[in-house]
Structures are given as structure tokens and as C-alpha cells.
Structure 1
Amino acid sequence: MPDYDSQKEGFLVSRATGNILPAIPLPFYPRSTGINVFQQGKKEHIGGLLNQFVRIVWLISGTCETLVQDRMQLIGEDTVCFFLYGEERMIRCVSPEARVRWLCIDGPCAETIMLAFRYSRIQTADYPAALFDKLDQIIAEDSPNMIRRKSCLCMEILAAMAGEDNLLHPHEKLIPKCLTEIRRSFTDPDFGLETLCEQFSVSRTTLTRLFKRETHCSPGRYILNERMAKAIALLSGTDLPIEEVARQCGFRDRPTFTRFIRRSEGMSPSKFRSAMSKETV
């Protein structure tokens, strides 16, 4: 078993037969396991042709981006995901450091068994350190009894993957909260991107990147879109004074609101209201 110092730096242990499957007939076999330690910006990128096994990846600590089914995902501590035969595999550290436990299995039914659990491709579950420690100790053993024990240990590890499906890194739950807050607060002239960043303790860069990925729009533009939708509804559906419409849409004064409408619609709020009235006649 790797000692404590090697675990801090990362390690790899594998079965004695290497790429050759053991002679004992079993549905699948553990091939190798280990811990990778990544520093910020470092990544592992393996093309699909080189991925000739099922690989389970458990993030022990830190935050990483990973490619799952052609989509970049942000994952955090106690997040587990898996990759099937022939799938491109990429993981990149975005925190100061990240520790990643991985397990590779192969054999005639490795992929079938993995899919039979019907797990989400990314989910959260407590890292089963004790099970991995046992596997580390015997993975190089090649007696018939140990080969069977190793496969049974792998099944326990796969069972430990069960958790709350689709729960990603806390950042992944951030965008729905932001959308709710935007709809609740966009009428406040002081509300904006900085408000969201402060409220949810996230940087501008991270929030903007996640927001664009989920909504295809920046947070600032989304706020303006909400204000515009409200403005159109009030200008076309009510007789409220322009000053009141501006206030309810999150603008401090009529001139600022007028510039906003003019940039979007090419006319002043009054002319826009008149044009909308004519269309409904």
C-alpha cells in the first residue's frame, strides 16, 4: 500500500498482469487505481482512442473542470464521475490544488455493469477512503482468491457512488438562485452584477462564466433584459406616467430610462407607447 507521503504527492498501483486480463473468468477486473495531485491550471487530457477501459474519477479535494459527454462541467469535493470506453477524458484544476482519486476497470462486462447502476454521469457521494485503501493493498495480487476479492471490492466502491444524483459543485446550483434573485430585485436601481457577486460570495469572472454557460447571456445583460421586458409590458399595457414606469423598471430617473429605451427601440418611451397603441387599435 502507498505510504502517507506518496499519497500526498500522488501514486499509481496496478494489477500484476498489466493490460492482459487475468485468467480467472469474471465480469470485470480492477486494472489500476491511484491519486493524482494537480496544481492550478494543470490538466490531464486523454483522447478517446487511448481510453480502453471504464474510469471512475472521485474528487477528494479542490475544484476542477472536466469534460463529460462533450460538455465542460465544474466539479468540487466529493463529486464523482465516470468515463466509458472510447470517450475523451479531460480534467483541469481551477483551484490552487486538487486531489483526484481514480479507478480503472476493464473486462467483458465492465461497461455494462457500470451502466447497469444507472448513475448520473456526475453526482456527489462521500469518498470511500477505506475501500480504496483495501484495494490499494491487494490490487497487485494475482492469486485466484485475490482476483475475486479485488472485483468484489470494486463492486463496493461502485455501490458507494450512490448519492444525490445531479448534485454538482455548489457553483452549479448558483445560477438558479441568481435568476430568482434577479427577478425579485431588478427593480432596485442599485441592483447589478456586483450585488450578485457579493450576495453569493463568488467572483465576477466565475459568475459570468457559469451564467453564460447556463443562459447563453451575461448576468448584466440578463438584468437589462428583465428590465426591458417589464418596460414593454408597462408602456404597452398601462397608462402609468413615464417616470413611474422608469422607477418600476429599476431606473433612477426618466432621462436614463429614455436613453435605455431609445437604444433598444430607436425611439423615446412616449413614442414607443404611442406606436404600441396604434398596433392594438
Structure 2
Amino acid sequence: MTKLFRELLFRPSPKPSKAVCIGARSVGHYRIRPEWQDLLFPKTFTQFFWSISGTGFIRLNGRKFSLPPETVGVYFPNEKHEVGTEGPGSWEYRWWTMDGPMAEAIVRSLGFGEDRIYRAGPAPVELFEELTREISDVSYGGEVRADAVAFRLLSAVAAEARPNEAAPVAGPRPLRSFRGTALECIQKSWTDMRFGVEQMADALGLHRSVLSRRFRSEFGMAPSEYILRWRVQNALRMLTRTTLPIHQVAKECGWNDPNYFSRCVRQIAGYTPRMARTATQGRTVRETKLADK
């Protein structure tokens, strides 16, 4: 017989101890019986539910939203929470709550709001357990660390979340497969000066417009912008960790024009390649000399 449990832990103070924008209020891990339902009343915090096994639901404004495995549901402050199991079996899920003066605004700024159920993959058990440990530490340091872990959980959902209506939860997830294929293509070809959106579309066997649409849906930006950011990130790494001449760094990272390279770096990073090199030159040269001994 499946063991049922309700494990939960609250921050000792009803409000964050310090003036933080967003605080970790509580965390829990439930496996509940069929036909179980939480009490229906408004709550003053933002709460996320991450479904693990079985199926649950949340109800909002008379509309019922199912929560099958690997989906996340969200409630905002002052909304009536109506949560329960759906179907004949038990439902296992993890949840956490956040409060603070900017909690709702920050959550909404990350794209949550109109949709309430999101596909997000398996629950990050390690993060939930870390949040539980930090909330257990009643010191101010523990509270601050718990706030940071709660934000990491929020970021993990935001990075993976897709509205549940976009595709069924069960079965293959084409966007996830596309993500890996697209990244592999960029990682193989980004140093080639000729590599761009057209070459990427050809490599993936997609029309350019289809590639751009799917890429933007998965990564939140155009493929050309992602490729540029990837090149700049690697160029900055080379500028700060090697003594290669700047024009050589440009060539290694896919630029044949050092002036255009400089403009691209300034556009993304806010400073020129020479400024990046100068800021870390002493450390880089010293590390290089030590490595050569």
C-alpha cells in the first residue's frame, strides 16, 4: 500500500526578517489520498505546486486545471486556493511559497501569470531538500540562504516552463529534442566565420523561418542573437584567460574583422575587447607564466 504523508516546514517569522524583495516562506512534500482536497480560503503569498506522480488539480475562478506529473501550477496572493487529487490514485507533489513586497511582481516578470499550469520536467529534488535544510536553520543567515534557494527554484521553473496547452505532457517533447540538436549544432560550428542562421537551418534541415520560430520559442531569442552571445562569451573567456592578440581572438571566435568584433563585444558586454584584456591582464599574464613553468 502506498504510504501517504504531508511534510511541511515554515519560516519562524510570519514575514521576512529583513527588507528583502522576495522571501522563502515555507516548503512541503505531500503524497495525498484520492478525493483529498485542501481548505478553500484566500492566502497572502505566491505558491508553486510541482507534480511528481499521480494527478492533482488547482481551481481558479471556477476553472479546473489538471496537474499531471512534471507540471507546475501557480497561485498568486489573495487568490482562493482549491487544491486536490484527480483520479483514483494518490498524488505526490512538492510545493513552496514566497512572500515579500516584490514577490508577485518578480514571479510575473519571469513570464508566469496568464497561464497557470506549465510543463517543467522532473522536480529538482536536490533544490527542494536544500530549501528544507535552510528553512530549518532559524538564524538570519539560514533565512537569507533559504531566500536564495527559493529564487533558484523559481529560476529553474522559468527556464524550463512551457504553457501546458502548447503540447501534451505525455509522449515525446519535440521542443526539448530540438533544443539539444540546436545547441549541438552551435557548439560544433560557432568558430566558423561562415556559420550563421542560414547554415544552421541547412544543418538542421529546416526552413529559416521555421528555425527562427522554434528557436525563439525554446530559447526566448532569435538564433542570430544566441550565436552572437555565444561567440562573445567565448571571446571574453579567451581575452581574460590567454595572451592571444585581440585580432587572433576575433578570428578564433568567428570574426574576420577586428573592428566589427570590437563593436559586437561592446554591444553585448558593454565594453571593448581591449578594456576586457586590460582589466585582467596582470592576473592573466601571471597565471600564464606560472602555467608555463
- When normalised by structure 1's length, the TM-score is 0.53
Q: Deviations over 1:167-205 (max 9, x none)?
A: 25987899xxxxxxxxxxxxxxxxxxxxxxxxxxxxxxx
Helix, strand or coil: the match of 1:114?
Answer: helix
Matched, 1:46 2:43: no
| Structure 1 stretches lacking a partner, 5+ long | 1-6, 175-281
- Tell me how far apart the structure 1 counterparts of residues 92 and 162 of structure 2 sit (CA, whole Å): 22
Q: Which has the larger radius of gyration?
A: 1
8 A Cα contact 1:29 1:106, kept in partner:
yes
Matched, 1:143 2:139: yes
**Pairing partner for 1:165 from 147, 151, 162:** 162
8 A Cα contact 1:77 1:169, kept in partner:
no
Q: CA deviation at 1:68?
A: 3.5
Match of 1:190 in 2: none
Seen in structure 2, the aligned counterparts of structure 1 residues 133 and 64 have a Cα distance that, compared at 3 Å, is same
**Pairing partner for 2:77 from 85, 91, 104:** 85
Please show how residues 27-46 of structure 1 align to structure 2 within 5 Å. Answer: 27-46=21-40
Matched, 1:109 2:102: yes
Match of 1:125 in 2: 120
Helix, strand or coil: the match of 1:10?
Answer: strand
Seen in structure 2, the aligned counterparts of structure 1 residues 125 and 39 have a Cα distance that, compared at 3 Å, is same
8 A Cα contact 1:57 1:100, kept in partner:
yes
8 A Cα contact 1:75 1:168, kept in partner:
no
Seen in structure 2, the aligned counterparts of structure 1 residues 8 and 38 have a Cα distance that, compared at 3 Å, is closer
Count residues in correspondence.
164
RMSD of aligned C-alpha atoms? Answer: 2.5
- Tell me how far apart the structure 2 counterparts of residues 168 and 60 of structure 1 sit (CA, whole Å): 19
- Tell me how far apart the structure 2 counterparts of residues 156 and 70 of structure 1 sit (CA, whole Å): 31
Q: Which amino acid aligns with 2:49?
A: V
Structure 1 ranges of 4+ moved more than 4 A: 168-174
Please show how residues 1-281 of structure 1 align to structure 2 within 5 Å. Answer: 9-17=5-13, 19=14, 21-48=15-42, 51-95=43-87, 96-119=89-112, 120-126=115-121, 127-162=123-158, 163-167=160-164
Q: Give aligned-pair identity as a percent.
A: 23
Q: CA deviation at 1:67?
A: 0.8
- When normalised by structure 2's length, the TM-score is 0.51
Seen in structure 2, the aligned counterparts of structure 1 residues 111 and 140 have a Cα distance that, compared at 3 Å, is same
Helix, strand or coil: the match of 2:82?
Answer: strand
- Tell me how far apart the structure 2 counterparts of residues 43 and 168 of structure 1 sit (CA, whole Å): 24
